[in-house]
Structure 1
Amino acid sequence: MAYGVDPSGFVLKRLPEILAEIQAANVATFGPGVTQTDQSPLGQLNGLHADLAATFWEIALSVYQALDPDQAEGVNLDRIAKLRLLERAPGESEIDFRQAITNAGRARIDMSDLSQALSAIAGVWVQTYVNDGDVADADGISAHSVAVAILGGDDDEIAKTVRAYVVPGIGTYGNTTLETTIEGFCRSIKIVRPAVVNVTIEVDVEAQSDRNGCPPPSALAIAAGLAQSLTGATRPRNGQDLTEFLVRQAIESRYPNVRVAAVRASRSPAAVGVVPVAFTFFEIMAVSADRITIIPV
């Protein structure tokens, strides 16, 4: 049997196999009458030799696992990520980080890598876009260009990160230009810094007790849940309109015993009116519980 690295992974040679090989080698050298019971001097040496060899094989397995992104953990996984210019995002789990390194289930490796790297910058929200076509797309992104919409973060760090993943010859698109210099070579990087637009939302809801007889959530709880669904990592992207469907999905998926009857909204501080409320690619809505009114009907 072959041991060590093979196409299926690492095959560990264990203590019983090692000891059997040593005993067989002794028989081949000294003949079948050689005494190597556990209590004999040769048997004691066999055991010591086998134990040391087994330790070596366990160390070899640990080294192999430390270099395999599917098995590495902790700092070893962080080291592997650096080979792909990736860093673990704050609070990111081992499973999610491992999938980012291996691109598991991701068809666009270049964009997933860029998003992962930018997400690792402290305090940012980021969305990446690409236009592979020969003309500008519906969002205005130039042909053969990448657009990075980002809130927060240090401009220099963002520019250097984008530059590491967007090779020369591929354009960048945005309303903010950042300058970078690496080893004497200068390059301008464009990013989208969307204008944050506060919105006011008013929702008519029909709420009832659930099938277990528990009362429906209060209006304040529904408002807080809606705000939580539309902020942070799950906030609507830049250019996304405020629609009835967006509000309905956020509330009804969180509270099964609440039905959205009507939605009115506006850009604050204007009075609420019919939806949708439209946003351009260079704008992004900001939702807060204190600007949400829930009206039971």
Structure 2
Amino acid sequence: MAYGVIPSGFELKRLPEILADIEADNVATFGPGVIQTAASPLGELNGLHSDLAAALWELALSVYQSLDPDQAEGVRLDQVAKLRLLTRAPGEADIDFRQAITNAGRARIDMNDLSQALSALAGVTWVQTFVNETDTTDVDGIPRQHVAVAIIGGDDDEIAKTIRAYVVPGIGTYGNSTIETTIEGFCRSIKVIRPAEIAVEIEADVLARPDRNGCPPPSALAIASGLADALTGAGRPRNGQAVTEYLIRQAIESRYPNIEVNEVRASIVPTSPGAVPVAIGFFQIMAVSVDRITIAVA
């Protein structure tokens, strides 16, 4: 049987197999009458030799696995990620980081890599990448063959260098903020979107009922807090995304199955809430806080 690196992967030679081979070699050398029981001097030497050899095989397996992002762990996984120009985000678990490295379930490898790298930069709290590969300006105003990065937080120079590592020469960058930086001795102008946060006020009329176990529905304040959580942080709506009934309904009803949204009103502060949708510009992003959310429970 073949051991070590074979076409199907790495075949580990285990202790019983190692010991059996050593004993067979002794028989071939000293004859069939050789005494190598476990309590015999030769048997003890066989056991010591096989233990040492098994430890080396385990080490070889560990080295082999450490080069595979599907098997590497901890610091070794971080080292493998550097080959993809990726850095682990603060608190990111091995399983999530591994998916980012291998692009598991992701079709747009380049843009996901860029988002992953930017998210790992110190101070970055939110990032969204866009690409227009067509020959015309798209509905968001992104010119043809351009990449747009919308980002909140982070150091301008670090952001520019990271973008440059993923956006090849000949592909333009689009945004409302220009970062002048030097990369490998060359001056570069990298455009990014620094979205202006637009405070919005939201009102929602909801119908509440007990859940299947008879537990009472959440309070209006709890619903407002849940909605605020859904519309903030890393998972917040992207820049240019309007305040719509669908957005609010999805955020509330997916979190609270026993709550049904009947009507949604919203506005840009300080205007009083009215009919939705409320448009948000591509260079803007909605800012939501629980004190600007009113939930009327029926």
Same fold (TM over 0.5): yes
Partner of 1:144: 145
Please state whether the residue corresponding to 2:294 is helix, strand or coil.
strand
CA distance in 1, matches of 2:107, 2:184: 32
Structure 2 counterpart of 1:235: 236
The residue number in structure 1 matching 2:40 is 40
Deviations 1:32-55 (A, max 9, x none): 232222233222222221111111
Structure 1 counterpart of 2:78: 78
- The Cα shift of 1:62 comes to 1.3
**1:185-196 residue pairs with structure 2 within 5 A?**
185-196=186-197
Alignment deviations for residues 252-275 of structure 1 (CA, whole Å, 9 cap, x no partner): 111112111111110011111110
Q: Deviations over 1:226-250 (max 9, x none)?
A: 1011111121000101001111111
The answer for the alignment partner of 1:155 in structure 2 is: 156
The 3 A distance-change label for structure 1 pair 152 and 34 is same
Amino acid at match of 2:151: I
**Which residue identity is paired with 2:254?**
S
Alpha-carbon shift at residue 93 of structure 1 (Å): 1.7
Q: Distance in 2 between matches of 1:18 and 1:211?
A: 60
Which moves more between the two structures, 42-51 or 94-103? 42-51
Letter in 2 for 1:150: I
User: Runs of at least 4 residues of structure 1 off by over 4 A?
Assistant: none
How do 1:109-188 residues align onto structure 2 when only pairs under 5 Å count?
Answer: 109-124=109-124, 125-188=126-189
Equivalence for 2:294: 293
Instruction: Write the distance in 2 (CA, Å) between the matches of 1:210 and 1:35.
Output: 75
User: Any unmatched runs of 5+ in structure 2?
Assistant: none
SS in 2 for 1:199: strand
TM-score, structure 1 length as denominator? 0.97
Q: CA deviation at 1:75?
A: 1.0
Q: Which residue of 2 aligns with 1:7?
A: 7
Q: Give me the CA root mean square deviation.
A: 1.2
How far apart are residue 91 of structure 1 and its match? 2.0
2:49 corresponds to which residue? 49
Relative to structure 2, which stretch is displaced further, 25-34 or 286-295? 25-34
Amino acid at match of 2:295: I
* Structure 1 CA distance for aligned equivalents of residues 223 and 40 of structure 2: 78
Structure 1 stretch displaced more, 6-15 or 169-178: 6-15
Worse overlay, 18-27 or 275-284: 18-27
Q: CA deviation at 1:149?
A: 0.4
**Secondary structure of 2:84's aligned partner:** coil
Q: Which stretches in structure 1 are left out of the alignment for 5+ residues?
A: none
The aligned amino acid for 2:253 is E
Greater shift, 22-31 or 189-198, is seen at: 22-31
Identity %: 76
Q: How does 1:212-291 map to 2 (within 5 A)?
A: 212-291=213-292
2:123–2:155 contact (8 Å) kept in structure 1 = no
> Match of 1:254, SS?
coil
Say if 1:49 and 1:211 are closer, same or farther in 2 by CA, change over 3 A: closer
2:60 & 2:150 partners in 1: Cα distance? Answer: 45
CA contact 2:177–2:193 (8 Å) conserved in 1 = yes
